[in-house]
Amino acid sequence: MNSLKKITAVVLALIMVIGLAACGNGSQNTGNNNNAAPAPTWPSANNVTVVVPAKAGGGNDQSARILTDYLARATGKNFIVDNDTTGGGTVAYEKVRNAMPDGNTFLIFSANMVVSNLFGTYDHSVEDFTIIGIPAGADDQNAFVVPASAPYNTLQEFIDYAKAHPGELKFGGQNAAVSMLFEASFCKAAGIELKFVEAGSQPDKITAILGKHIDCADITLNAADQYVKSGDMKILGILQDERSKTYSDYPTFTELGYKDAIVPQSGLILGPKGMDEDTVKQISEYIKSASTDSTVIDSYKKMNSTLTYYTPSEAADNINNMVKIMKAAHDNIK
């Protein structure tokens, strides 16, 4: 009988030890599950609409598609680029502004939306959207160009000539666009008077420069460099603070002493107002990963550009500063 009691006691003790061990392991596993990173909840739809208020094939469209192609690969969802230029882009802006704030509809575009608001062709500002990020690359700014046969070879020579011939030199730009803001800021910063001429979009400005119908213009740095190499244009300065990594031979307006003439043109990645902070963070993390992806890097390199990552907070600061400068430039327009 005593032997039976001893055996029973031993068995019960073993059962208790095994039970405690099981409980310990259970607690440890529970702890690990709690510490695991939560699964991404974005995108919450199989189809994500990326609105681009630009024609297919252009720079804005290409930049957007590089990013959306990566997002499709990274998330396994469908990203549909909606190119809508109706109403100068205002219809596209409204599609995003009025969409559900779930991150399944957002906009990728240039700073033209800000300009449209300043000139009164669009009633809403970036404050009516959620700022997610910036798609623009480091070499996406413009160059100030003149015909190759022009009598000035430096920016200062151009300014000196303009001062000696007030109102004579024709600047080719586009009404109610960034080029109009730049011309006003440049004239104020340099103390000169140029004659603003409506020259249309970039292809039209290039044609006008080549035909010597205008004396100067701002066009993309990539395009300007091609015409410099062909012997048709001269770049007197690029509208950036720092020299381009790709086109390092050209001086910047800042180093030449005319920083106040620069009107920044940060791109925009915007969603509807009221987006959940966690959703914005998740999208931002995907953009961060895209900036180091070899396919993305190579694709942007073919455009002579790069994808520079900004956190949502950094993007907001950058865009709000751009808006401030653009507003000041708009006030300079006579």
Inform me whether the pLDDT recorded for 24 exceeds 60: no
Q: Give the residue-averaged pLDDT of 247-258.
A: 96
Sign of CA dihedral 51, 53, 57, 60: negative
Inform me whether the pLDDT recorded for 283 exceeds 90: yes
pLDDT in tens, 78-120: 999 999 999 989 999 999 999 999 999 999 998 889 999 999 9
Residue 31 lies in a domain: no
Quote the CA–CA distance of 115 and 141 in Å, as a whole number: 16
Quote the CA–CA distance of 209 and 195 in Å, as a whole number: 15
Quote the CA–CA distance of 303 and 137 in Å, as a whole number: 10
pLDDT in tens, 185-214: 999 999 999 999 999 888 899 999 999 999
Which CA distances in Å does 170 have to 161, 177, 194, 244, 278? 13, 17, 6, 27, 50
State the total domains in the chain: 2
Same domain for 269 and 254:
no
pLDDT in tens, 152-175: 999 999 999 999 999 999 999 988
pLDDT in tens, 219-244: 989 889 999 999 999 999 999 999 98
Give the confidence band of 137 by pLDDT, cuts at 50, 70, 90. Answer: low
DSSP string, 156-189: HHHHHHHHHSTTTSEEEE-TTSHHHHHHHHHHHH
More confident residue, 7 or 270: 270
Average pLDDT, whole number, for the chain? 88
Query: What is the CATH number for 230?
Result: 3.40.190.10
Residue 14 lies in a domain: no
Residue 198 lies in a domain: yes
Residue 98 lies in a domain: yes
pLDDT in tens, 263-275: 988 889 999 999 9
DSSP-assigned beta bridge partners for residue 133:
269
Residue 34 lies in a domain: no
Same domain for 304 and 234:
no
Give the confidence band of 19 by pLDDT, cuts at 50, 70, 90. Answer: very low
306: left (phi over 0), alpha (psi -120 to 50) or beta: beta
Task: Give the pLDDT of residue 8.
Answer: 43
Q: Give the residue-averaged pLDDT of 299-326.
A: 92
Residue 173 lies in a domain: yes
Residue 40 lies in a domain: no
Same domain for 306 and 167:
no
Last residue of a domain, one of 227, 261, 295: 261
Give the distance between the most distant pair of CA atoms in the chain.
Answer: 122
Same domain for 276 and 245:
no
Quote the CA–CA distance of 19 and 21 in Å, as a whole number: 5
Identify the three-state secondary structure at position 111. Answer: coil
Provide the b/e sequence for 167-195 (b: ≥16 CB within 10 Å).
Answer: eebbbbbbebbbbbbbbbbbbbbbebebe
Q: Quick one: tokens of 256?
A: 């030449």
Same domain for 176 and 236:
yes
Which structural domain range is residue 160 located in? 142-261
Quote the CA–CA distance of 298 and 181 in Å, as a whole number: 33
Task: Give the pLDDT of residue 322.
Answer: 94
User: What is the distance in angstroms between the CA of the first residue and the CA of the last residue of the chain?
Assistant: 112
Task: Give the pLDDT of residue 303.
Answer: 82
3-state helix, strand, coil in the chain (%, to 5): 50, 15, 35
Last residue of a domain, one of 232, 261, 290: 261
Residue 33 lies in a domain: no
- Unique residue bearing structure tokens 């598609």: 65
Last residue of a domain, one of 204, 231, 261: 261
More confident residue, 26 or 107: 107
Inform me whether the pLDDT recorded for 22 exceeds 50: no
216-220 and 105-109 beta bridge pairing: unpaired
Task: Give the pLDDT of residue 18.
Answer: 41
Task: Give the pLDDT of residue 245.
Answer: 82
Inform me whether the pLDDT recorded for 11 exceeds 70: no
Identify the three-state secondary structure at position 257. Answer: coil
Q: Give the residue-averaged pLDDT of 280-290.
A: 97
78-83 and 142-147 beta bridge pairing: unpaired
Inform me whether the pLDDT recorded for 180 exceeds 50: yes
Q: Give the residue-averaged pLDDT of 282-286.
A: 97
Task: Give the pLDDT of residue 38.
Answer: 59
Task: Give the pLDDT of residue 110.
Answer: 86
Task: Give the pLDDT of residue 57.
Answer: 87
Q: Give the residue-averaged pLDDT of 322-328.
A: 95
Task: Give the pLDDT of residue 273.
Answer: 98
Q: Is the peptide bond before 43 cis (omega within 30 degrees of 0)?
A: yes
Same domain for 53 and 201:
no
Q: Give the residue-averaged pLDDT of 7-12.
A: 42
Query: What is the CATH number for 96?
Result: 3.40.190.150
Supply the DSSP symbol for 37: P
Same domain for 91 and 178:
no
Inform me whether the pLDDT recorded for 39 exceeds 80: no
CA Rg, the chain, in Å?
28
